[in-house]
A and B are shown apart, each in its own frame.
Chain A
Amino acid sequence: MTPVNKSSKIIESLEDINRLIHEPSRLTIMAYLSVVESADFLFLVRQTGMTWGNFSSHISKLEAAGYVDIKKEFIGKKPHTVASLSKAGRLAFKEYRGRMKKLLE
């Protein structure tokens, strides 16, 4: 393979990377959700160290993409929200990890 072909292949691989997941904050949220069945927002905010506003904005994007399922409920009068990775989300994260590994090896 010529150097030109090689670099164009790398660029093609980079273009295949899921940019929605690739953003560091969203990647962190996806990584946490990938090791649990579900987690409430308080847990995710505490663990990721994000501010509430930042976290809300990123998880909304993941929800809009269908990667995250969100269940809202009330405990007493306080809102309580639980998030989990959807099937599509788990698959997308698995694919993302595979592509990144392949790209970096």
Chain B
Amino acid sequence: MDTNLGTIKNKVHFTFFQDGLWDMFLGIFLLAWGLTVWFDLPLLPGAVFILFFWLVLGLKQMITYPRIGYARPVEYQSRLLKTVITGIIVLAAVIIFLLPLLNQGYIHFLRQNFEFILNSSMAIAAAFVGYWWSIKRWYFYALLILVCVVLYQWIGLSYHISFIIPGLTIFLSGLAVLIGFLRQYRVSTEENIDDTSK
């Protein structure tokens, strides 16, 4: 039995991503961005974000909690807040300190590199999730998003493809995790828990 608090914290955090639903959410969100760019559907990412966010929460109630139970983390809100604040500070630092060094007007630079900044921010957000919740595959997602936008910026890959490739990959990865999760755990109640243990 492990009683190392650091390991236990990591194990508890891991359970939030054990079902792959948040991976699928990220994948669908990126796909929505790709379709927005491709077919000029400006409202799609916002609509997908809201709809699928609630869908994931509902699916967690239906799929995840009856299988592995639920824990409310002490640090959950403060960690989330820290992540958001750190993300904002990093972006603000980039905008305030880095851009003037490039000897270009802010607006001009932002317009010229908007796509790169947007996708890089998503990659940074994915890396933050990987870091805060100790989920290593999210580092790979961050890298994938970054590589695709680099290919767009300097090699000439279509912008919508730079969303669709990582979006589809991440969605499929999440789906594979979900299938593995469903195979590993059966629905349990307190009455039959010993029969459904791993």
Contacts and interface: CB of A to CB of B under 8 A. Distances in A.
A38 B71 contact: yes
Interface string A36-71: 111111111111110111000000000000000000
Nearest to B73: A36
A97 to B, nearest CB: 8
A19 B190 CA distance: 28
B107 interface: no
Contact of B74 (A25, A35, A43): A35
A79 B191 contact: yes
B1 to A, nearest CB: 4
A37 B190 contact: no
A81 B193 CA distance: 13
A25 B2 CA distance: 10
A40 B74 contact: no
Given A28-B2, A32-B12, A35-B9, A80 B72 contact: no
Interface residues of A, number: 29
Contacts of A78: 189-191
B8 A35 contact: yes
B69 A44 contact: yes
Contacts of B35: none
Interface in B161-198: 185, 188-191, 193-194, 197-198
Contacts, number: 85
A80 B71 CA distance: 13
Nearest to B69: A43
Contact of A48 (B1, B5, B188): B1
Nearest to B61: A75
Interface of A: 24-25, 27-28, 31-32, 34-49, 51-53, 78-81
Interface of B: 1-3, 5, 8-9, 11-12, 15, 65, 68-74, 76, 185, 188-191, 193-194, 197-198
Given A24-B3, A37-B76, A78-B191, 20 more contacts: A27-B3, A28-B1, A28-B2, A28-B3, A32-B8, A32-B12, A32-B71, A35-B5, A35-B8, A36-B71, A39-B71, A41-B69, A42-B65, A42-B193, A43-B68, A44-B69, A45-B193, A46-B197, A47-B11, A47-B15
13 contacts: A27-B3, A28-B2, A35-B73, A35-B74, A39-B71, A40-B65, A41-B193, A42-B69, A42-B188, A43-B69, A43-B71, A52-B194, A78-B191
